[in-house]
Amino acid sequence: MESAEAYFDRKFEELKLLNSCLADPLSIDRPDSVADVIRNKFELTAALRAAHEIQDWNATETAWSGSARPTSGPFRFQYDYQRADLSVEGPSFYALDERLIRQSIYTASGMAAIASLLFAFCNSIGSAEVIALKGSYGETLELIDGYARQLQLVVGSIDDFCIKGDYRRILLLDSCIGSRDFHDTVNCIKPLFDLIIFDTTCFTSSSGRIEQVVRWSRRWGIPLILVRSHNKLDSLGAEYGRLGSVTFMRNEFATDGFSESCFEELINETSNAIRLLGNAALPAHFPPYVGTLSYHRLTRRRAASILCNGRFASRYFAAALQGLASQLQSVHGLYVTLGRTSRRGGSAPSGRRHEPGAGRNRISHSSCRKLRIRFCGNGVVSRLDGRSL
């Protein structure tokens, strides 16, 4: 694992990157505790947001000033009343060939992105079967089950869907599913899907697995849409602001159930859904330090540390909870102990319709009292008894 000294050195580099975005940088010292890291990072984040408000004071919600040209670091924005037509110029959050990206639409959060897309589906393509794999984000399944009734949700493994159904079939591929399920999916010999929605939230934007899914969809000529929350891994843990996106990938092919005109209509309907639901992104929520070489390097190092700490925590919990009917599941880049399901991992039995509420965390209170874990920054900090892990 990463040593404490290496951890504080890395965090100091992150703090210096945030500080460099200020016109009048603050005086910061190398932190020597996790509390210092958190306090300094949130203080710098607040200063950056305040500087943005002072600089772009005339870029209001009502866009009363026609001369307003709000910015946030490398990002440039243009919009009219209530940001319904928000236009964003700046670097992509994905480390992909820009020629593969057809259009990115930014939203106020990751759930705003997936909700707007699903509502657009219901208004444009009507009925469809949504295939979700075991371990998919429980709130996404709950959203489909409760508010997108035209979409029939089925949860199972990839082997359960080798026969083409009667409906349009959409694969909901979530980055938080198990590695084996992910591997089996992207190595499926003949994927029988009309469209793929890939929630990339738990993968860094430069992850090879994102590129793998892009290549897989293009190889089989299946249209692909990426959805993401950018607050988890794309803001260096600064919680800079609530930001999500829907990215439509280019595809020269069209499936039998999803033509080029359907794809174009879906883009337009998604924009309309974002406007009508009030889900448009705020310019102030775009981290100004995105896009630099230093940012990409530190983000990769942070993600590597999260993975390393998560694997260590997984082994630790497996030993500490030996004999209990529990499993370990990754949740937004962290690992938690589970009873039956997790908040980002609930699923119904193979091939059956998801049941509302199946994504709730059911670990017992006694187990929580027995081993209470505190997460700070990138890793596990302490147990209930105060000992370091």
Give the largest CA-CA distance in the chain.
66
Task: Give the residue numbers spanning the domain of 366.
Answer: 307-382
In a domain, 298, yes or no: no
Which pLDDT value is given to residue 158? 81
Query: Within this chain, do residues 97 and 170 fall inside the same structural domain, yes or no?
Result: yes
Return the structure tokens found at 179: 């590695």
Which pLDDT value is given to residue 93? 93
Query: Within this chain, do residues 279 and 314 fall inside the same structural domain, yes or no?
Result: no
Count the domains in the chain: 3
Q: How far apart are alpha carbons 3 and 9 in whole angstroms?
A: 10
Helix (H, G, I), strand (E, B) or coil at 127: coil
Query: Within this chain, do residues 258 and 129 fall inside the same structural domain, yes or no?
Result: yes
Which pLDDT value is given to residue 88? 94
**8 A C-beta contact, residue 329 and residue 315:** no
**8 A C-beta contact, residue 326 and residue 158:** no
Query: Within this chain, do residues 112 and 10 fall inside the same structural domain, yes or no?
Result: no
In a domain, 300, yes or no: no
In a domain, 299, yes or no: no
> Which long-range contacts does 57-63 make (Cβ < 8 Å, 24+ apart)?
59/283
pTM given for the model:
0.82
Lowest mean pLDDT among 149-153, 292-296, 376-380: 376-380
The one-letter amino acid code at 83 reads R
Query: Within this chain, do residues 262 and 349 fall inside the same structural domain, yes or no?
Result: no
DSSP secondary structure letters along 279-345:
-BPPGGGS-TTTTSHHHHHHHHHHHHHHHHHHHHHHHHHHHHTTTSS-EEEEETTEEEEESS--TTT
Q: For residue 221, give the CATH number of its domain.
A: 3.40.640.10
**8 A C-beta contact, residue 310 and residue 136:** no
Q: How far apart are alpha carbons 100 and 356 in whole angstroms?
A: 36
Query: Within this chain, do residues 325 and 226 fall inside the same structural domain, yes or no?
Result: no
Return the structure tokens found at 252: 């020269």
First to last CA, the chain: 11
Q: How far apart are alpha carbons 163 and 210 in whole angstroms?
A: 26
pLDDT tens digits, one per residue of 253-289: 656 667 788 889 999 999 999 999 999 999 999 999 9
With CA atoms as reference, report the closest residue to 246 among 263, 221, 233, 262: 263
In a domain, 237, yes or no: yes
In a domain, 13, yes or no: yes
pLDDT tens digits, one per residue of 180-221: 899 999 998 878 888 999 999 999 999 999 999 999 999 988
Q: Predicted confidence band at 356 (pLDDT cuts at 50, 70, 90)?
A: very low
In a domain, 62, yes or no: no
In a domain, 291, yes or no: no
Which pLDDT value is given to residue 126? 76
Q: For residues 201-238, b (16+ Cβ closer than 10 Å) or e, as one string?
A: bbbbbebebbeebbebbbebebbbbbbbbbbbbbbbbb
Q: Predicted confidence band at 61 (pLDDT cuts at 50, 70, 90)?
A: confident
Which pLDDT value is given to residue 329? 52
pLDDT tens digits, one per residue of 307-347: 888 888 888 888 887 765 445 554 444 444 343 333 333 33
**8 A C-beta contact, residue 52 and residue 31:** no
In a domain, 64, yes or no: no
